[in-house]
Amino acid sequence: MNSVFEALSHPVRRKIIQRLKEGPRSAGELAEMFELTKPTMSTHFAKLKKADLVATRRDKNTIYYSLNMSILERALTELIDIGGVKSHDDE
């Protein structure tokens, strides 16, 4: 889970996650949304992939990224548990 929180700690990666909530996108589409170099974007994609926050699919020379919601939901649950926030079921 540490790699998930590390991946989510950077604002660019959080914005990539937000874009992927709308649906899968190619690496090129995502890169066009940011004024960053290709190597910098590749580093962000690699961190998200390492944390399993995104899944990839290759179609010829294009890589498509999609959001792995189960990992994101698990991270949110752990964050809530760490914070000691009670759910409605606990009351």
**Structure confidence by residue, pLDDT tens digits, 31-89:** 999 999 999 999 999 999 999 999 999 999 999 999 998 887 787 787 777 666 555 55
Is the pTM higher than 0.95? Answer: no
> For position 88, what pLDDT does the model report?
52
Strands (E), 12-67: 25-26, 54-59, 62-67
Return the sign of the alpha-carbon dihedral for residues 62, 68, 69, 72. Answer: negative
Burial 14-27 (b: 16+ CB within 10 A, else e): eebbeebeeeebeb
> For position 84, what pLDDT does the model report?
60
Q: Domain map of the chain by residue range?
A: 2-79
Contact indicator for 7, 51 with CB cutoff of 8 Å: yes
Nearest to 63 by CA among 77, 49, 74: 49
> For position 70, what pLDDT does the model report?
82
Q: For domain 2-79, which CATH number applies: 3.40.50.2000, 3.40.50.880, 3.30.465.10, 1.10.10.10?
A: 1.10.10.10
Task: Indicate whether 90 pLDDT > 60.
Answer: no
Nearest to 54 by CA among 10, 35, 76, 46: 46
Contact indicator for 41, 34 with CB cutoff of 8 Å: yes
